[in-house]
Structures are given as C-alpha cells and as structure tokens.
Chain A
Amino acid sequence: MENILLSLIFVPLLAGSVVLIFLRNSKWPKDITALLVTFANLVATAMIFKSNFSFTVPWASFGFEFSLRLYQFSAFIILASAGFGFLITLYSVAFMREKSNSGIFFGLLLISLSLVNGAVLSNNLVLMLFFWEALLVTLWGMIAIGNKAAYKTATKAFIIVGISDLCLMAGIAICGHIAGTFTMSNICIGVGGIGGLAFILMVIGAIAKAGSMPFHTWIPDAALDAHLPFMAILPAALEKLLGIYLLARISLDMFKLSHNSWASYTLMTVGAITILGAVLMALIQKDYKRLLSYHAISQVGYMILGIGTLVPIGIVGGLFHMINHAMYKSCLFLTGGSVEKQAGTTDLEKLGGLGRMMPITFICFIITAASISGVPPFNGFFSKELIYDGALERGMIFYIAAVLGSFLTAASFLKLGHAAFMGRANREDVKEAPISMLAPMITIASLCVIFGLWNSIPLKYLIQPILGSRLEDYNFAGWPTNTTIVWVTIAVLIAAVLNHMYGVKRTGSGLKAVDHIHHAPILSTVYDKAERGVLDPYNIGMGATTIFAYCLSTCDKATNWIYDSFIPTITDYASAIIRGLHDGSVKTYIIWSLVATAVVISLLLK
C-alpha cells in the first residue's frame, strides 16, 4: 500500500519530467506516455478507493514529516482528479495535435496530477503546503505556453495565487504553533485570538486556489490566453477539488467552528458575493470561454456558501456541488474547445447555428448547461437544492443570493446556447469534433445524468461518509425533502426562460437577450467599470503596490542622500574650515602653538 501511495506521487512526476526534458518535441511518445500514466493513475486510485491507510516516514528535521493518509475524503478527491486527468488528456491528444507547445503541456499536466495527489494525500500541513504551492510553477507554465500575451496572464495568476499561498504558509505556521503539531488529523483549534488569524490566512489560501472572489480575476484572462484543456483541467476541475477539499478540512476538522461564529458568517458572505458578482459578469460576456470562466468562479461561491453554513445539509451540498461542478464545468469547457477547434473561434458574435453541424457537442452542452443551471433531474439541481436548504436554515439573505445567482446562471446559459448553437449559421462547413474529443465529453455528460438521476450513489458512497459523525445520521439522497424550495427553483428557472424570450423578442438576437439587464440603470455603469478592469482587485492591488513601492523607494533614496550628498558636503565644509586655518603664515602657526601650550599647561596645573 505504501508503494501504491508513493507511486501515485512519483510516477506521474517522473513521467512528467521525462516528457518535459526528453519527449517535448516527439510526435507520439509524449501523448502515449501521458495517456498511459493518467490511465494508470486512474486505475490505481480506483483500486485503493475503499482503503484506509496512513504512514509516516521522516523527511527532514524540524517537524517535517512525509506523512500520507488515505481515507474516504482523500481517496475520493484523488479518484476524481485522476478521472479528469485521464479524460482531459484523451481530449488534449486531438486538441493539442497541431499546437507547438503540446509536449510542455502534457509534461506539466502530469506533474500537476502528481502534485494534486501529493497535496490531497498529505497528512502533514507542511508537506501539503509543499505540494500545494508547487502547483504554482505548473500553473504558470501551463498558462505561459498559450498565446503571445499569455505570460502576462500567467504572471497575474502566479502573483495572485502565490500571495494567497504565502498567506496559507503563514496560517499553517500559526496553526502548527498553536496546535503543537503539523499532523492534520490531530489538529483541532479554536478561532479566538490568534487562531482566528490562522483561520483567515488558511481560508485565503484555500478559496484563492478554488478561484473565489476576490482572487479570481486571472481566470477569465486565462480563458482567452491559455490553451483550452488547461481551463478544463486546472481552474475548472483540479483547483476546485483542491481548494474546496482544503476549505472543508479547515472548517470541519482543523478548526472548531460553531454555527454562530463570525467564521461561518464570513464564509457565507464571501460565498454569496462570489455567486452574484461573478455571475453578473458572466452574463454580459461575448466570448464562449470567457463566459464559462466567470461561471467557474461563480459556482465556487455555492460551494463556499454550502460549507460555510456548517449544517450537515449545507456541507453535503457544498461537497456534492464541488464534484458536480468539476464535471459539468470541465465538460462545458471541452464543448468550448470543440467549437474553437472546429469553428475556429469562440467569439459569440461570429458563432451560431452550430447545433445542427455539431449535434453531439450540442447535446453534451445542453446536458451540462442544464446541470449548471440547476435544472432537474441533472446533478447540479440536487446539490444546489441541498445548498439552498442549508442557506435558508442560516439566513434568508443567503438563500436569496443563491437563488438570484441561479436565475442569472440560467439566463446566461440560455444566451450562450442560443448564440452559439442556434440561430443562423455563419459557416456551413463546420464538422463534428473527432471521436477522441467527443468521448471525454460524452463520458462526463453521462456522469452528470447518472449523478442526478441516481444521486444516492455519489451521496451514499462518496460524499456522506466524509462527514462521519458530523452527518448526524441524515441521508440526503433522493428527491429533495423541502418541496417549497423545489417550487421556488422551478419558478426561477421558468422566469429565466421568460426573461430570455423577452430579451430575444426585444432585440431579435440570442446574444443580446440579456441586454436589458446589461443596460439597466445602475448596473450599466458598474458593468462599464468592471469591463475596463477598474474594479479588478488585482489591478487595484498592483496600483496600490506601486504607490507603496514609490514611498519605500523614496525612503531608500533619502537614506542614500545621506551618504551621497549629506556626508560629503559636511566633510567638504569641515575640511574647508580646517584648510582655512592653514594660511601659510608663520605668525598664525606660532599663535596656535602658544595657545595650545597654554591650554596644556593650564590643564596640567589644575
């Protein structure tokens, strides 16, 4: 068992390094290596899924232990990540075929998988941080190999995630200090005083990885600049799994949180703001991938909200939503990739009528779009209902935010589907994507159906065991128990459809179906600012940093002035004065000597 766990980390790592160093420019070997390794990874994680195992080997001194723990939660996350890893590799083989940097992409993908396995299996906080933060490097690399300007987005991502990772590092340092141990399963501390600081710092690390507001703005940029499979694998799937995994570990295991603690309200507020803020931005996007990327942010809000409720139903909902979202969102990105590859663009202005020419892609899109919008009986519906229930229990305002978010989500997907797949076609010669790209999409879309219709399978076997005694013997499988909430959801979905029909009728175009929201009085100014990047926390932060740096640099220059100007000037004056005393006249010197002698004598006589 030890060897299996270690090989889950080291095999993809080695394979990835080999691909990066030796097979980077090969024709087929890199694809085959990537496929084989990701498949082996999937098989291995599936085989050990039911096991419980932990072991520790000394790593370095000072409390660093190489300590791994396989149990329901970690086994579930690595299984899911292995699944996405394999499917998206399969997809990328065709998608990345003509791209120049595909070798680097596959190498980094394999290394990322290894790091995700390591981070999730770690039972030592420092070890986890090691794997977790190392993902920064692969993240940077995978974005940077995109288009020409991608390095800027890569840097933006690196800086945002890197800073939040440093916060996580600080949080871990404090947490270990308070708890006296870095072993995750032994930590259980309060959020009073300095523990609260540790909690906030660690949550920043977790939700920034998941892509929550205000750490989100690199994602929409990356959607345009990076290769599409990157979006499907990291921001849509693996980073969500990781971030929410850690958030759940922090707020459920490692910190003792009560329902009424500020921590719970903070999480729910962050969640609610993320849902609404990001979905409002998604609504007005005119690019397939960029629109999806805003939803990748918005949906994180639901997970944070669900976990933040701290009631069993909300937590189960949040975790269920995590896996559901990873599925439908990566599949949605994959449909976007098919469109990009086959139609040559993802600009919605130039797309249209693809549904007839790419029927399978279209069907996958419909299923996953229905899932994300929370349409019964797909998987997203069930997880959202659980979160609604939890949110309602904790406060009406959170529930309203969540439902409003759903309305806007549905509206924007109606717009997207209409603009891309229906209406008049700009080109008639678009073909369906190749089978190796369709297969992953079909697989994931079918899983979305299965996880919805038979939701007791994931809930009973994957999600609910994670909570253990915290579940209080509830069982949330099956149809939602609170029928009022279901009716509200259905009403909201109908409202979204009516809204869409109204918009289409008003403007005569699917793409412009939400213009009446876009141009609504107050919203339009906000939108205007947001589109110009004025509200981007990154831009604001970097602006503030520059001003701060100028102030610091001025302090530095002032210090330097002392050395370069002040001291030389003083020295010059002093030497000028002393030089003036040496006037070359014997008389002056004799007077000086006499005065000095007098002083010495007077001192001696005293």
Chain B
Amino acid sequence: MNNSGLLLAAVFVPVMGAFTLPAIGRISEHLRNALALIFVLASLVASAMLVPTVLSGQTITVALAGPLGFNFVLTADPLSVFMAIVSSFISVIITMYSFGYISHYPNRNEYYTMVVLFIGAMMGLVFSSNLILLYIFWEITAIASWRLIGFFREKQHVIKADKAFMVTIFGALAMLFGFILLYAETGSFDLAVIKGYFGVNPISNWIVLLILLGILSKSATLPFHTWLPDAGVAPSPVTALLHAAVLVKIGVYVFARLFVMTLPIAAIWHTVVPIIASASALISAGAALIETDMKRIIAYSTISQIAFIFLGLAVGGNIGIAGALLYILMHGIAKGGLFLCAGIIEHGTRTKDITKMGGLLASMPITAISFLFCALSVMGVPPFGGFFSKYMVMSGAFNQNVWIAMVFLVGAFLTIIYLFRLFNMIFMGEEKAHSEAEGSRVMVASVAILGILSLAGGIWISYPAAYVQITLKQMLGI
C-alpha cells in the first residue's frame, strides 16, 4: 500500500469499521471484539508504517479540492504521525482491556462502536489539515464521548455526560467562530494556505482567544475543567481513553498544530497561556489532595499534568516544546495505566472511595506494582519516562519565566504528595476492602504493559527523543 493509502486507512478503517460492529455483534461477540481490535490496530500499523517516510523529511498529503476553501486535506507530518501513534497505541491497549472489563455489562455493541468511532475520529482530527475537517472530527469525538460517559444510563451519569458535552461544545463553537474569522481574512480553511497568508505577522488576538476557548475546554483546563472529574462516572477504559490518553490531548495537539506550528501569535500569549496553565495545575492538584474518589483524583491529576504540557508548548523554546511532546507520550501511557488500574480495583472491591480501601497490595500485587510505576512516571521520577518530559518542560519554563516555573514546581511537589496519598490509601496499610481475584488476565496484562512501558520509556528515552527532535525541526522549520 502506498503512503496515501496508509494515511486514508489510518483514518477511515476505524471510522467506517465502527458502523459495522453492531451488526457483527449480533452474530458473534468474539468476532466483534476481534474486529474492533483489528480496526484500531489498523490505525496503529498504518501510522507506524508512515514513520520512515516522515522521518526522511517528506510530508504526505491526500487532498481533494472542494469549493470555497472546503478542501478535504489529510497531511501526515512528524507531528501528526507522532500523535497518531501515541493515541492509537494506547487505544489498542484500552480496547484489549475492554474485552475483560465490559463483558458483564449490557449495550456492548454500542460500546465498541463508539470507542472505535472515537478513535477513528481522533485519527481524522490528527491528520486533518483543513480547519473545517478538523472541526467535524472534533465534534464526532464529542458525540462519541458523550455516549460513552453516560454509558451506564444512570440519571446522574447522563447529567454528567451532558455537562461534558455542553462544555466542550461551547468551546468548539467558539473555536468554529474563530475559524470563520480566519476564513474571512484569508479566504481558506486550508492550514497551508493560512500559514502562507500570515507569514510572520501575528494573527488577531480575538481569533486566538476564540480558538483557545475550544482548546482549553477540550483539554479540560481551568476554568473549563470541571467536566473531566465528573466524567469519571464512565466505565474505566473509557475514562482512560478520554481522560488520559486521547481526548484531553486533542486540545494540546491542536494548540501545537495551530499556535506553535502554523499561526504566529502575539508575544503576550506566551505569558498568558502559562499563567492560565499554572492556575489550572495548582487548583486541580489541590483538589486531587482533597477528593476521596479514586477516579476523580486521577482525573484531577490529568488536569494538572495537561497544564504542564500547555506550559511547555506555550513558553516556546526548543526544549520546552520537545518536552511537551514527550509529555503527551509519557503521560498518555502512565495515566492510561492509572485509570486501567483503577478499573481493576473498582471491579475487585466494588467501590471507588479510597477511604474504604487499603492493603490491596497483598491481593493485587501486579496491579499495585503497575500502579506504582505509572504513578512514579507521572511524578517525574527517573528512571521512568515522565522524568524526561517533566524535566524538559521545567527547563524550558525556567529559561523563559522563572516565576511561572516556580509555581509549576509547587505543582510538581503536590503531584508527588497526592499520588502517594492515593497509592498508600489503596494499596498499603490495613486491609479494609477485600478482593478475591485481581481481575481478568487480559486486564492485568494491559496494566502491566503500561507499567513496564512507563519504565522502558525512560530507559530507552533516546528513541522517542530522537523522533521528537526531528518533529521539532519540521514544526519550527529549523
């Protein structure tokens, strides 16, 4: 298959495939599960096969001309392939894990359809190089996640799903308005055309603000963050998918794509965005220390860590941006692992309240070690992968603005404290909740893979770092 074929396959195999799943599910559960995995795997494999080409410095474009600037353009460059591999890889693990997790619940056909559709839309979003196309995929992810958050159909769950949907849609509409303003000025939605139009002149602050509203609401950053902890009512693999690995990374990805790579923005944003992010990092870390619901704590932790990614991207400088990209990778793996561990614990103990847990190390040793590894990676402790990303982001921040960086340092302190509080209350001390088994084999294997990858990501840092360096060259045109 040639490169354009691979690119189309990465997006459209899961998007189209998703709709076949309900029909197949009526025939065979196993076949449906296998196909769901294959569709997601196809995205991963196709994206991975694009790596040699993009590393050689080429970009692959599939374009279909449309009227009035509504071109259908998919572009594979190092950044989009990086993001596609990270998200599809974590999605593969999460899909695998779902086989064990979701098998006792009703509506499994809908579940797999929505998950695969979501992942396909994510792929489309990552590769699209046209703002309208990007917006369409953006909204598909919102719809899919709305169904998935309210999956259990309880009244409160549906309300929370609606909340998540409405907050992100509000942001998306603001963003769409920003896109339209861009169109009014440049006459195109095509990113390449827009980039050529502006050159190095900063774009209007109003446009930046509108698009930023969309980005911040999707990436759950203050003040649009509260839907994320509430969305913890979803099934655990969904929370992993939405909160950790994929959905919340959409915002930061689009930030990198638009404001770092394509559109020149006024210097003030390099201060404003880090300030917003620092408030977000601190407030969510504080909330994580107070909450007692396991999944809400991890969700708050996500908000806090996303702020670090924004910091790295927004302060500029090579090391900060590179750190932010690595952060997307390391945090995706580690946080995905934490949510999946939470799923195992929730299944085993039938509770999410950490005050009712304790001493689970004895009955869930593999989960405990995986949890610890992932937590250490999120804290940024070597030799785990998160060390490098955290160090590089902090280093980038200290190069630009010492005081904002000091606020983030406090955020990093709190990260250590709340994650250890969580670990101790779940796994150490007196055994309060008892769990017979650790969970199905495929679930335990999934978290073990993510735990080991958190460690391997640090030990073999040179590979992702080399990739990120090439990405950086291409992004910044250096």
By a CB distance below 8 angstroms, the chain A residues around B212 are none
Which listed residue, B289, B413, B468, touches A553 by the CB 8 Å rule? B289
CB under 8 Å from chain A, chain B span 425-442: 428-429
Distance of A414 Cα from B225 Cα, bound (Å): 61
Distance of A173 Cα from B409 Cα, bound (Å): 12
Contact status of A155 and B420, CB under 8 A, knowing A163-B413, A553-B287: yes
CB under 8 Å from chain B, chain A span 188-246: 194, 197
The answer on a CB contact under 8 Å between B420 and A176 is no
Interface centre among B227, B283, B392 (most CB of A within 10 A): B283
**Interface window among A131-139, A480-488, A574-582:** A131-139
Contact status of A158 and B416, CB under 8 A, knowing A62-B392, A151-B424, A553-B287: yes
The answer on a CB contact under 8 Å between A159 and B391 is no
Q: Does A563 contact B (CB under 8 A)?
A: yes
Which listed residue, B163, B382, B417, touches A159 by the CB 8 Å rule? B417
The answer on a CB contact under 8 Å between A556 and B283 is yes
B: interface residue count bin: 35 or more
Distance of A556 Cα from B395 Cα, bound (Å): 28
Which listed residue, B379, B402, B465, touches A61 by the CB 8 Å rule? B465
B109 to A: closest C-beta gap in Å? 32
By a CB distance below 8 angstroms, the chain A residues around B225 are 559
By a CB distance below 8 angstroms, the chain B residues around A133 are 381-382, 387
Distance of A58 Cα from B286 Cα, bound (Å): 39
The answer on a CB contact under 8 Å between A563 and B167 is yes
B368 to A: closest C-beta gap in Å? 11
The answer on a CB contact under 8 Å between A64 and B465 is yes
A276 to B: closest C-beta gap in Å? 28
By a CB distance below 8 angstroms, the chain B residues around A563 are 163, 167, 226-227
Which listed residue, A60, A62, A64, A155, touches B318 by the CB 8 Å rule? A62
Distance of A152 Cα from B421 Cα, bound (Å): 10
Q: Does B132 contact A (CB under 8 A)?
A: no
By a CB distance below 8 angstroms, the chain A residues around B286 are 548-553, 555-556
The answer on a CB contact under 8 Å between A62 and B226 is no
Q: Does B76 contact A (CB under 8 A)?
A: no
Contact with A along B271-311 (1 / 0, CB 8 A): 00000000000111111011100000000100000000000
**Interface window among A90-98, A164-172, A343-351:** A164-172
By a CB distance below 8 angstroms, the chain A residues around B284 are 556
Q: Does B15 contact A (CB under 8 A)?
A: no
Q: Does A51 contact B (CB under 8 A)?
A: no
A142 to B: closest C-beta gap in Å? 15
By a CB distance below 8 angstroms, the chain A residues around B383 are 130, 134, 137
By a CB distance below 8 angstroms, the chain A residues around B469 are 61-62
The answer on a CB contact under 8 Å between A174 and B398 is yes
Q: Does B222 contact A (CB under 8 A)?
A: yes
Q: Does A100 contact B (CB under 8 A)?
A: no
The answer on a CB contact under 8 Å between B289 and A549 is yes
Distance of A169 Cα from B415 Cα, bound (Å): 15
Q: Does A370 contact B (CB under 8 A)?
A: no
A216 to B: closest C-beta gap in Å? 18
Size of A's binding interface in residues, CB under 8 A: 50
Q: Does B252 contact A (CB under 8 A)?
A: no
By a CB distance below 8 angstroms, the chain B residues around A159 are 416-417, 420
Contact with B along A127-164 (1 / 0, CB 8 A): 00111011011000000100000011001001100110
The answer on a CB contact under 8 Å between A555 and B391 is no
A399 to B: closest C-beta gap in Å? 36
By a CB distance below 8 angstroms, the chain A residues around B412 are 166
By a CB distance below 8 angstroms, the chain B residues around A194 are 402
Q: Does B56 contact A (CB under 8 A)?
A: no
Contact with A along B384-424 (1 / 0, CB 8 A): 00011011101100110010011001001110110010001
The answer on a CB contact under 8 Å between A61 and B466 is yes
B73 to A: closest C-beta gap in Å? 30
The answer on a CB contact under 8 Å between B382 and A162 is no
Residue of A nearest to B373 (CB): A137
Contact status of A560 and B405, CB under 8 A, knowing A134-B381, A177-B398, A552-B285: no
Q: Does A545 contact B (CB under 8 A)?
A: yes
Contact status of A151 and B394, CB under 8 A, knowing A62-B319, A133-B387, A563-B167: no
A145 to B: closest C-beta gap in Å? 12
Contact with B along A535-565 (1 / 0, CB 8 A): 0000000100110111111011101101110
Q: Does A592 contact B (CB under 8 A)?
A: no
The answer on a CB contact under 8 Å between A163 and B416 is yes
By a CB distance below 8 angstroms, the chain A residues around B283 are 552-553, 555-556, 559
The answer on a CB contact under 8 Å between B290 and A553 is yes
Distance of A197 Cα from B412 Cα, bound (Å): 18
Which listed residue, A129, A166, A550, A555, touches B413 by the CB 8 Å rule? A166
B75 to A: closest C-beta gap in Å? 24
Q: Does B35 contact A (CB under 8 A)?
A: no
Contact with A along B215-231 (1 / 0, CB 8 A): 00000001101110000
The answer on a CB contact under 8 Å between B163 and A549 is no
The answer on a CB contact under 8 Å between A134 and B318 is no
By a CB distance below 8 angstroms, the chain A residues around B409 are 166-167, 170
B357 to A: closest C-beta gap in Å? 14
Distance of A273 Cα from B462 Cα, bound (Å): 44
Q: Does B322 contact A (CB under 8 A)?
A: yes
Residue of B nearest to A162 (CB): B416
The answer on a CB contact under 8 Å between B381 and A137 is yes
Distance of A298 Cα from B406 Cα, bound (Å): 30
Distance of A66 Cα from B469 Cα, bound (Å): 17
Which listed residue, A169, A197, A562, touches B391 by the CB 8 Å rule? A169
Q: Does B182 contact A (CB under 8 A)?
A: no
The answer on a CB contact under 8 Å between B318 and A151 is no
Distance of A170 Cα from B376 Cα, bound (Å): 18
Contact status of A552 and B226, CB under 8 A, knowing A60-B462, A133-B387: no
By a CB distance below 8 angstroms, the chain A residues around B405 are 170, 173
Q: Does B260 contact A (CB under 8 A)?
A: no
A156 to B: closest C-beta gap in Å? 9
CB under 8 Å from chain A, chain B span 448-478: 461-462, 465-466, 468-469
The answer on a CB contact under 8 Å between B382 and A134 is yes
Contact status of A61 and B387, CB under 8 A, knowing A177-B395, A177-B399: no
Interface centre among B405, B416, B465 (most CB of A within 10 A): B416
Q: Does A311 contact B (CB under 8 A)?
A: no
The answer on a CB contact under 8 Å between B287 and A136 is no
By a CB distance below 8 angstroms, the chain B residues around A550 are 286, 290
Which listed residue, B167, B282, B379, touches A552 by the CB 8 Å rule? B282
A-B contact pairs, 26 of them (CB 8 A): A60-B388, A62-B469, A130-B382, A133-B382, A134-B383, A136-B381, A155-B420, A158-B420, A159-B416, A162-B416, A163-B413, A163-B416, A167-B409, A169-B390, A173-B391, A173-B405, A174-B398, A176-B395, A546-B289, A548-B286, A549-B287, A553-B287, A559-B226, A560-B226, A563-B227, A564-B163
The 5 A-B pairs with the shortest beta carbon distances in the complex, nearest first, are A552-B286, A60-B465, A549-B289, A173-B395, A549-B286
Given A177-B395, A549-B285, 9 extra CB contacts under 8 A: A61-B465, A64-B388, A133-B382, A151-B424, A169-B391, A177-B398, A197-B402, A546-B289, A563-B163
